[in-house]
């Protein structure tokens, strides 16, 4: 005869005072928790790649200046490629905008397109032909 033969076939006891826990609640007890809140997002931010700003020569700047003046006077569309600095860390990314110049503001150093986009002049890398320009 075994040590537990007297209780092995008895029904599982249930408490009248404490209801049974649902399977979902029971499973939630064993799920991992995030001991350091925000740590995962900090790791993702550190791993995010940003690019470096390209430096233009004086000749390249002069060519861009001529293209800007021509586009402003002619009113044609162009594709602007410009560097947008990252707000959280060093570096940034190159962005392209298709548009027609509405205004060049030399005091603030920006080109304002018809759609309202403001592009810093010093951040422009390239101006390419648009569908109806040059």
Query: Structural domain of residue 63, as residue ranges?
Result: 58-129
For residue 129, CA distances in Å to 7, 37, 114 come to 88, 48, 17
On whether residue 83 sits in a domain, the answer given is yes
16-37 mean pLDDT: 82
Contact in structure between 82 and 97 (CB atoms under 8 Å) = yes
On whether residue 49 sits in a domain, the answer given is no
Least confident residue range of 2-6, 33-37, 74-78:
33-37
For 69-86, b where at least 16 C-beta lie within 10 A, e where not — what string? Answer: eebeeeebbbebebbeee
pLDDT digits (tens, 9 = 90+) for 45-72: 777 667 778 888 899 999 999 998 888 8
On whether residue 101 sits in a domain, the answer given is yes
The whole-model pTM stands at 0.59
On whether residue 87 sits in a domain, the answer given is yes
Q: How far is Cα 52 from Cα 90, in angstroms, rounded to an integer?
A: 8
On whether residue 115 sits in a domain, the answer given is yes
CATH number at residue 86: 2.30.30
Residues forming beta bridges with residue 101, ordered by sequence position:
113
State the total domains in the chain. Answer: 1
On whether residue 90 sits in a domain, the answer given is yes
On whether residue 65 sits in a domain, the answer given is yes
């Amino acid at each position: 005869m075994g040590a537990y033969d007297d209780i092995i076939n008895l029904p599982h006891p249930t408490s009248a005072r404490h209801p049974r826990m649902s399977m979902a609640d029971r499973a939630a007890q064993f799920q991992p928790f995030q001991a350091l809140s925000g740590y995962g997002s900090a790791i993702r931010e550190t791993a995010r790649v940003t690019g470096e700003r390209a430096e233009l020569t004086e000749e390249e700047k002069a060519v861009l200046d001529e293209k800007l003046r021509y586009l402003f006077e002619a009113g044609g569309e162009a594709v602007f490629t410009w560097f947008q600095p990252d707000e959280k860390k060093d570096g940034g990314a190159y962005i392209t905008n298709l548009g027609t110049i509405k205004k060049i503001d030399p005091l603030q150093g920006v080109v304002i397109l018809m759609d309202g986009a403001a592009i810093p002049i010093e951040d422009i890398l390239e101006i390419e032909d648009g569908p109806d320009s040059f």
